[in-house]
Amino acid sequence: MPFDIDLIRARTPGCANVAHFNNAGAALPSQAVTGAVIDHVRLESEIGGYEAAAVADDALENFYLATAALLNAKPAQIAFIENATRAWDMAFYAFDWRQGDRILTSVAEYASNFIAFLQVARKYGVSVDVVPNDSSGALDPDALSGMIDDNVRLIAVTHVPTNGGLVNPVAAIGRIANAHGIPYLLDACQSVGQMPLDVQEIGCDMLSATGRKYLRGPRGTGFLWVRDTLMESLEPPFLDLHAAKWVAPDRYEMRPDARRFENWECNIAGKIGLGVAIDEALELGLDEIYSRVQTLAGALRVALSSVPAVTLRDIGREQCGIVTFTMDGVDPTAIKSHLAADHINVSVSGQSSTFLDMESRGLDSVVRASVHYYNTQAEIIRLRDQLAALEKIVINRNHQR
């Protein structure tokens, strides 16, 4: 193994309490991340909030340095924002939308993003066009290329959808976007922290992400990356005295860097904690993390396939740490409750999260079991055994009817 799993689990208190397969919801933070947050909140209580922030200036700046290293970017291109959806919104709503503009997106696009598409479509006469999938269920780059015309204003795609295990071909999408000079917004909410992300290789112009999922950072943290060449053409939908400077009675000037997308007031302790979490991911290595995540996810899919009543619901040629499934005769919510009784955490993903994708596959909801590098083979077997036990309960109940 590329790193010491026993040590990592010892430094993750939650591993002693639960088998945590809800990392695509919110991963278990390390002691170092939790300690950084608590220490700063304690300092605020002892000397005052503004004063504590001044003391923590280096730790706050570390967030920008660490995030830039994570993405192969520059610190000036990074904005700290309270969550991935708001980060995405700050980029998306910064465009000056006009009637006739087209947005190209994916079948498995996340609900929050698609609702924003529908809002600007209603307000400004923008059209939203969904790029068909290929035979594996991923966005088809050839279909995307064939849909390009002079009216396409934005290509907006989710890297890893909230369910289905899919990894979209984001670099191929980037090559098409760059060849036609079309801005490209990537939602990396579920991919950041579980796999390497290099914005230069991907070719996106904006990238939004969260802290609480695979980065193992605090809740209420996220970030936005924006390429320099696009920055000046984007005016955020909200500005304050941090994002802009009031220079005359009737004039303001926006910051030249990505912090124009930030608010002055933010979660200071969370920002420090996210910097620590990113440092830990960089120290372990994203290639190594993703290799272990894929190995564990593959083992989980094999284990689930051994339970006759379970049907895997994952798609795509490349599959990640998100594993989704259903079970004959058992509602996903009941599966979640059964597993929770044995301190096994999973989540349920409903049709409303990825409406087009789920509807096209005839699914109302699925169980989502998402692995991270601190999970173990023993936990996977424990999850499988509980599903097998549930299967027997259902069979016996049916026989008694």
Distance CA 296, CA 97 (A): 43
Q: What is the four-CA torsion angle of 257, 260, 265, 271, rounded to 10 degrees?
A: -40
What is the SS3 assignment for 106? strand
Scan for tokens 């894929």, then name that residue.
Answer: 294
What is the SS3 assignment for 20? strand
- Distance set, CA 32 to CA 76, 196, 212, 216 (Å): 26, 22, 15, 11
For residue 33, the model assigns a pLDDT of 98
Scan for tokens 């969260």, then name that residue.
Answer: 210
Phi/psi zone of residue 195: left (φ > 0), alpha (ψ -120 to 50 degrees), beta? beta
CATH topology (fold) of 5-26+285-392: Aspartate Aminotransferase, domain 1 (3.90.1150)
- CATH tag, 31-283: 3.40.640.10
CA 179 to chain centre: 27
Distance CA 164, CA 302 (A): 16
- CA contacts within 13 A on the Cβ side of 8: 19
Distance CA 320, CA 189 (A): 13
Q: Are 300 and 205 spatial neighbours (Cβ–Cβ below 8 Å)?
A: no
For residue 100, the model assigns a pLDDT of 97
Residue 3 φ/ψ, nearest 5 degrees: -150, 170
For residue 397, the model assigns a pLDDT of 82
User: Which stretches within 321-376 are classed as H helix?
Assistant: 332-340, 355-360
CA 242 to chain centre: 26
Helix 377-400 and helix 332-340, axial crossing angle in degrees, nearest 10:
120
Distance CA 395, CA 399 (A): 6
For residue 396, the model assigns a pLDDT of 85
- How would you class 105 by CB atoms within 10 Å of its CB: exposed for 0-12, middle for 13-18, buried for 19 or more? buried
Kindly state the tokens that stand for 362. Answer: 């005839």
Q: Could you tell me which residues come within 8 angstroms of residue 329 by beta carbon, excluding any fewer than 6 positions away?
A: 309, 394, 398
Q: Are 138 and 166 spatial neighbours (Cβ–Cβ below 8 Å)?
A: yes
**What single letter denotes the amino acid at residue 363?**
L
Residues of the chain with pLDDT under 70: 1-2, 401
For residue 84, the model assigns a pLDDT of 97
For residue 401, the model assigns a pLDDT of 67
Domain boundaries, given as residue ranges, for the chain = 5-26+285-392, 31-283
